Each structure stands twice: as C-alpha cells, then as structure tokens.
A and B are shown apart, each in its own frame.
Chain A
C-alpha cells in the first residue's frame, strides 16, 4: 500500500464519518448506533492505511509533512469520536471530522510536500505528540473564542451571556489541558534536543503567556462566576495572545533569534 491508494482510503473514511455524523445528528435513537459504527469504520480505514503504509515504507511514516498530516487526520477523527462517546458532544465530533477532512484534503492537493525535508532538531518522536496536542488545543480554544464573541454580542444586546459561557468553560478546560500537555511535551523535547527544558526562547515565552492567560480565565471564573462580561473579555484577549504566539511571533523584534522560527 502506498500513496497511490491514498485518495480511495481518504474518501472512504470521510464518507463513513460524514454519514455516521448525519445519522447521529438525526436524533433518532435507532440510528445512533449505526452512526457510531460508521465512525469506527472510518477511523479503522485510516488506521489500516497508516499501518500498511508503515509496512510498505519499512519505517514509521512520521518523517515527512504529508505523513504527519496523515496522523493529524487520524488523531483528530479518533479523539473527536472518543470525546463524543465520553461527553455526547455532537458538535465536537463534527468539528474534529471537518478538521480531519481538511488535513486529508491538503494532503491530496499538495502531494509534492511528501518529500519535504525536516531539519535535524525536528526529527524526534516528540514532534508528533507536541504538535498534535497543540493543534487540537488551538482548535478548541478558537472555538472558545467564537463562543466568547457570541457571548459579548449577547451582552451588547442586553442579554446576560451566561447561557453560552458554560460551553466556553468546557472548551477552555479541554483546550487548556491539551495546552498544558503541549507545553510540557515541548519542555521534555527541548531537554533532548537543546539541552535544557526551558530557555525563555520567545516562542516559549509566548506559549507560557498563552497558558497563563487561560489560567487567569479559569481562576477568574471560579470566584467571579457572575461577572460574565469580564470573563468573556479575558477569553477573547487570551485568544489574541495565542494568535501572537502562533503567527505574530515571527514579526516581533524580540523574536528574531528564536529557535522556533523555521524556514527562511
């Protein structure tokens, strides 16, 4: 099995996922279990492709960007499904399925990136978990930011905003736990790659800042549960800090020597 077979597997997995999702969304009890079964089938199809690719390449397919995107798709799909089973959040399943589909589509449209090079520092078993938990976490926190904007709009129109903040809380807690894991995995990786777990590299500084911002939100919510408006503002600002950490860092004067700025 190699990349020639990829489109067939990707389409099959996505069809299973989508049909499964529609069945689950239909709300009919008799259709939920077939929906779940189809989701499992979709995940298994991706897993089968990865496994056979692994055998074909005679090495773990963790090397190129295309290969890492394949894993993203798989994990997004699988985690979305697991969280759905645990929490019964249908939107989460839909959200992660769309993300997974986007990664599969990018892989289909840009096959030439399969041979892109990875610099030595990135060639590590930590690469995948570090990046995957961060991508998932950023996705969830982006969701919480959308909720906060909606909440602020509700406040603006004279409503309380409390009806959406519970959803924001849940997104933040899950996103924050992944953010914590990403940060800690990064620290453990840094120890292996650069000799120290924390060097106040600009990217690290901003990642830590992002983490602290959501920490403030969580604690603020715990003692000022009724100050919804302030909490929503904190949440929106925290996402701006996250965006600076993700993209903005490349433009900051303080980050010109960062080891995290890749490519020239």
Chain B
C-alpha cells in the first residue's frame, strides 16, 4: 500500500537507478537492519515472524505476483502515460512496489539466514548455500544495476583508433582504452535449393540441396524432378539475363541448374538466386505447380578483428565474436551488430562495452546457489517413499 502511494505521488516515474555510493550504503543498511533485528530483538514476535516460513511464502508470493504482472503487461512502452504508468505497472522492475517487495524478501530471507547460521551447524550448510547465495545474487544484482555501464562502440572498417562509446541515451563516454577495427567478417551457412509449392507458396517437405563451391555436378531428386547443379557462384551480379561473378558489395549467390522431369523426360534449365538488395532474385518454374528457389544464406558467425591499445600497456590484436567477449581492465567487449542490410559486405561493426563492478558479488551468489542446487539434487526432499 505504502509503495503504491509513493508511486502515485511520484507520478509513476518509478525509482531512479541507484548508483555508487548510495547503493553501497543501502546494502550496508540492509545488512545492519537484518543483523540488529536478528540479534537484539530476536525474541520479538514480528522478528520471529520475519524469519518464519509463512513470511517466506508471503514474500515470495508477493514478489512472484509482481513478476507475473510483468510477464503479462508489456514493459517500458513509452508515450501516453495512463493508469498503468501511474501505478508503476508498465515499469515494474523500477517501481516502488517492486523495490519494497524486494526489500521485504531480502529482510525475511536475511533474517532466516542469520537465525540458521548462529550458532553454526554443519547440517545447515546446504540451507545456507541456497539462501545466502540467493540473497547475495538478488541484493548485488539489484543494488548494482545502477552501476552497470552498457555502451556502444561504433567502428568503421579501416577507421582510426577511438575511445568513445555511447550509452542508450546517446551520451558519449570515454573508455580507458582505444580500439580500431581492421576487418569485419561474416561466415554464412551455405544456402539451400528447395522445392516450393507454387499454390501455397510454402517449401515442400523433405529435400534440400546445400550449395557450395564444391557442389557443381551434384544431383538431388525433388519429387518428379532430378535437379543437377551446373555452376555455383558465391558472389554474383545479374547482368543482361545472366549471373556473373563479381566480388563486390551487394553480391548474392546464384546457381545455374537443369531439371529433368523423370516422367516426361522434359528438361528445364536456368538460373536460381535468392538475390539481395542489389541483385535480382530468380526462381526456376517446374510445371504449373512447383518452382525451385534458393533460401537466403543464414549467418553462421560474425566477428570483428580489432586492435586494442591501452596507455602503458602493450597493444593487443584480437578477434571479437558472439559468445567470445574480450576482457580489458574491468570491461568486457561484445560483438553486437553490423550493417544488416549489407550483410557480409558490412563496412562497420558495433561492439558493446560492458562494465559491471558488482559482477563478482553476483557470481559469488550464483556459485553458492549452484553448490546448493547440486546438493539438493543429491539429497532430494529427504522423504522416504516406496
């Protein structure tokens, strides 16, 4: 109730993000409150209740209910603030009600951790791993979210060194290192030839014929037709009814095929290409009901070759790709995006630089919880059943 009143009073603006050092103070205050009420007032009914299971169920339920609302109501829809905004329901994770329910959860969880750890007993260890791990992960994750920096670095292929990066609101920041993009690469999966039903415009089930430089001469049967690959060009342009090899920006794969109808003996031949923004696409009609088409090549891997320079430290040349971030002085650099319209001919790359000073604490919490979960897996509920 209290939190709803605050939310309405603040006109649904939610809580401003807590940044250093305020979040440290709040975290310490939280720990102090838990310790003081848990040691000085542990006989009080309210305090005993806070560390009880009903308190746990009620705090988890309240928290879960708010997460449930968040699961149904689209979050962070800007413009026209209505009742949802006023009550904080379209920005739940930053709302007062969520914050207060989180504090209730942390105090309840903290109280029970304290009660179970003094005096320390070995048999309570798994309990403590689970509960303390959760407490640390939630506390560090939420208090630390204000200190999290996520910045985009825009790099042009062959451009100069830069140390500027931009936050979501376009404010510029200076990184403690500078970076230069020497090359941006995309590997594609080979495109496939597929048989399409001309009436429903859907790919018929079954066969696919992957296309690579090595697949010339390969054959594949699609229903009544035997399709042979005559020539495959990875980078082609469409010039005067023909696809011609040309390795430059905007090129698309193209393949010349012939199809033999096994029933009638009729042969149809021609070019097939998925096309691109600069290259016309082509299909090969087979009778009235079907045609052969090429699927767009899907991205297999994209990566940026960069040189990273830091004052007083030697220069490093490295490759950054999805799932392989690069770590440098507290920052992690991620491959984020590129010119999707140009695809493999993209001339720029966007990296994301992330700095999260609270990460070690969150990882400690996660690590404790993993240990606790493994133990739980091993012991189960401890109930004996037939």
List the interface of chain A (C-beta within 8 A of B): 86-87, 112, 115, 117, 119-121, 123-124, 166-167, 169-170, 172-174, 176-178, 180-181, 184, 187-188, 191-198, 200, 202, 205-206, 208-209, 212-213, 215-216, 219-220, 222-223, 244, 252-254, 256
Contacts and interface: CB of A to CB of B under 8 A. Distances in A.
A172 B383 CA distance: 12
8 contacts: A117-B189, A120-B321, A169-B383, A178-B377, A193-B323, A195-B336, A212-B63, A216-B57
Given A119-B298, A120-B323, A252 B381 contact: no
B348 interface: no
A120 B141 contact: no
B354 A196 contact: yes
B208 interface: yes
- Interface centre among B72, B93, B359, by most A CB within 10 Å? B72
Nearest to B56: A219
A108 B206 CA distance: 14
Contacts of B378: 86
Nearest to A209: B67
Contact of A254 (B74, B93, B208): B74
Contact of A200 (B75, B150, B336, B380): B75
B362 interface: yes
Contacts, number: 133
Q: Which 9 A-B pairs rank lowest in CB-CB distance, beginning with the nearest?
A: A223-B53, A177-B377, A177-B376, A120-B322, A212-B64, A180-B373, A169-B381, A173-B381, A177-B373
Given A216-B64, A254-B75, A188 B381 contact: no
Interface stretch (B156-164, B228-236, B249-257, B299-307): B299-307
A196 B301 contact: no
A117 B56 CA distance: 45
Q: Chain B interface secondary structure, helix, strand, loop or mixed?
A: mixed
B210 interface: yes
Contacts of B60: 212, 215-216, 219
Contacts of B301: 120, 123
B67 A212 contact: yes
A112 B322 contact: no
B300 to A, nearest CB: 7
A186 to B, nearest CB: 11
B81 to A, nearest CB: 18
A222 B53 contact: yes
A12 B54 CA distance: 52
A215 B369 CA distance: 14
Interface of B: 52-54, 56-57, 60-61, 63-64, 67-68, 70-75, 93, 141, 148, 150, 189, 206-208, 210, 298-302, 321-325, 332, 334, 336, 352, 354, 356, 359, 362, 366, 369-370, 372-374, 376-381, 383-385
A195 B352 contact: yes
Given A181-B370, A184-B373, A252 B72 contact: yes
A259 to B, nearest CB: 12
A105 to B, nearest CB: 19
A122 to B, nearest CB: 9
B343 to A, nearest CB: 13
B181 to A, nearest CB: 18
Given A195-B352, A223-B53, 16 more contacts: A86-B378, A117-B298, A119-B298, A120-B299, A123-B322, A123-B323, A166-B385, A167-B385, A181-B374, A184-B369, A195-B332, A197-B359, A200-B70, A215-B60, A254-B70, A254-B73
A117 B384 CA distance: 46
Contact of B374 (A176, A177, A193): A177
By CB atoms of chain A within 10 A, which of B150, B299, B372, B376 has the most?
A: B376
B309 to A, nearest CB: 22
A220 B354 contact: no
Contacts of B70: 200, 205, 254
Contacts of B324: 192
